[in-house]
Amino acid sequence: MALVETRSIDYIPLAERKGEVRHLWPVWFMGDAHLATLATGAISVAGGLDLFWSSLAVIGGCVLGTVLMALHCSQGPHLGLPQMIQSRPQFGYLGALLVWIVALVTYIGFNALNQSLAASTVKELVGLPEGPTIIIFAVVAAIVAGVGYDLIHKAQRLLAYLMLAVLAVYTVGLFKVVDLTALLRPGAFMPTLFLVQFFASAGYQLSWSIYVSDYSRYLPREVGIRASFLWTFCGAFIGGTWMMLVGAFAGAAFADADIVVALRHSADAMFGGFGVIMLVSSFGGLVTITSLNLYGSSLTLLSVIDSVRPIRLGVASRMMALAVVLATSLALSLAMGGNVLHGLEAFLGVLVYLFTPWTAINLADFFFVRKGRYSIRAMFMANGLYGRWNWRGLTSYAVGFIAMIPFFKTELYVGPIAKALGGADISMLIGLPISAAVYLLLCRNLDLAAELAQIPALDRNLETEPVR
């Protein structure tokens, strides 16, 4: 491959596939082993829930969210396409714009939060002002994203080994500076805070689903669904759970309104200067995950533009899209004020609502309806096999989302069932089965045999000719 990745949202031919499936482990371990994940784990502790129940909520939420995102990752080697393009068979060529726009908002929101956390870290380390730090941080992350897939993978592998060592030292050190027996003694169970943490953790892990296969689409198809699932799950679950628990422990033992300060104080208590090492290591992960978000958001923006008006795919269009999403996230992070942790909690709550129906429909279609049998070329045809609007996917999304509304709990609206449950939000557990069940029901009259019969002719010469 060239130094700078030349492909964007187009299909990756089998001849260009490379890499090893085990390399997915460091990508998603470092995808989680950074300061934004740390802040996610501290949400319930900051609200007053004790460490025992907070830890259980973190572990349970990470299991649920990571299973879903790892299933999405397994689609990458099989189809050789970015994650969002794979939504066209379920929602239609134009109908997929619904989830793509939501995905764009997610990317930009996460990057704004990441950039704010980076500025807080640098301010804690060397006292630099936040504005210039945010700009420099974002530009560095954008350079990595601009180079593309290969550099992102290599950076994640390098940082993974460093972060593993740092987290191991931190974990061992906790036993020396904190009375974990007392700290982990169960207190009063607060169901509302427990569920907030559970679904914040699940939503955080689920949020990777919108671009997780972007980083597996260059792998050879023969790596298989099971191997890509397992390597992704192990990396994301270990990285996410470990880092969230570090955040919960730091927040409980060294309470501070700023989770970055709490982390430094807890690490310095182990031995002098370890706080700086911990922050610098976490900062490195923050750079690369921001690169992942910028890379994925540029692909998603290209998908949106391409749906409205077909464009020439390649490095130039990807760079232009990258510049747009970089400028947007920078503007938001520079304007952001107040408590970042509070903003993260609210943001993750919205993500759960928006992505739960999509993930259920996408996975139901891939594993149970079409069973991975798609026409790659048809996904790039406005009036092709999958149509402009797929009423089955759109209806299922609407039904699933509406079914979740009574369970919503936000600052602006609390649903009646959430009120009856004392403010507990279990909407994700409602939206997943209902969206999937409605989609499976509506697909019972889908003429799958006729659709599959067209694929060989549509995808003839797929490996030797461009998809469009």
Estimate to the nearest angstrom the gap between the alpha carbon of 389 and the chain centroid.
26
Tokens 């187009």, residue located? 10
- Secondary structure of the chain as H, E, C letters: CCCCCCCCCCCCCHHHCCCCHHHHHHHHHHHHCCHHHHHHHCHHHHHCCCHHHHHHHHHHHHHHHHHHHHHHHCHHHHHCCCCHHHHHHHHCCCCCHHHHHHHHHHHHHHHHHHHHHHHHHHHHHHCCCHHHHHHHHHHHHHHHHHHCHHHHHHHHHHHHHHHHHHHHHHHHHHHHHCCHHHHCCCCCCCHHHHHHHHHHHHHHHHHHHHCHHHHCCCCCHHHHHHHHHHHHHHHHHHHHHHHHHHHHHHHHHCCCCCHHHHHHHHHHCCCCCHHHHHHHHHHHHHHHHHHHHHHHHHHHHHHHHHHHCCCCCCHHHHHHHHHHHHHHHHHHHHHCCCCHHHHHHHHHHHHHHHHHHHHHHHHHHHHHHCCCCCCCHHHHCCCCCCCCCCHHHHHHHHHHHHHHHHHCECCCCECHHHHHCCCCCCHHHHHHHHHHHHHHHHHHHCCHHHHHHHHHHHCCCCCCCCCC
Backbone angles phi, psi at 409, to 5 degrees: -140, 105
Q: Most distant CA pair in the chain: distance in Å?
A: 68
Per-residue pLDDT tens listing for the chain (468 residues): 457 888 888 999 999 999 999 999 999 999 888 777 887 888 888 888 988 999 999 999 999 999 999 999 999 999 999 888 899 999 999 999 888 888 888 778 778 878 877 887 788 777 778 788 888 989 999 999 999 888 988 999 989 988 899 889 988 887 777 777 777 888 888 888 898 899 889 988 988 888 899 999 999 999 989 999 999 999 999 999 999 998 888 877 776 656 677 778 888 888 888 888 888 888 888 888 889 889 988 988 988 888 888 888 888 899 999 999 999 888 877 776 544 545 555 665 676 788 899 999 999 999 999 999 999 999 999 888 999 999 999 999 999 999 999 998 877 788 999 888 877 788 989 999 999 999 999 999 999 999 999 999 999 999 988 876
Q: Which one, of 55, 109, 62, 99, lies nearest residue 205 by Cα?
A: 62
Spell out the domains of the chain, with CATH numbers in brackets.
Answer: 22-353 (1.10.4160.10)
